[in-house]
Amino acid sequence: MGVERYLLVMVGGAIGSLLRYLVGAWVQGLLGPAFPWSTLFVNALGSLLIGAVVRLSLEGALSGEARLFLAVGVLGGFTTFSSFSYETLALLQDGEALAALTYALGSLLLGFFLAYLGYRLGGMLVA
């Protein structure tokens, strides 16, 4: 992989992270902090956008570099949930319903468990 590809991902990731912060703050300002609306909105928007980017790329409307910049860089920095959503969809489209269900539920349960474990370990480090 050439240095240019790394730079596309790096710059795209920085843009996506900044957009996540700005969009999240905007949504939270509109709807308040009582529920994680900003995360829900960012993840939903990222899922919509990665679907469009991947389809445009598959149809030849976007180059491989544009897909790398947008899907891996910008949307990867914006939300990794978008990648998870597309990968689950790809499994379903390939007729792998059980694999899609396993991946989706496994990701959710493993992510929740590891967040809890990390929370507990962090508490042990400061105790």
Binding residues: 76, 79
Alpha-carbon dihedral sign for residues 76, 46, 12, 58: positive
Q: In b/e form, how buried is each residue of 50-88, taking b as 16+ CB within 10 angstroms?
A: beebbeebeeeebeeeebbbbbbbbbbbbbebbbbbbeb
Query: Annotated binding site for Na(+): which residue ranges?
Result: 76, 79
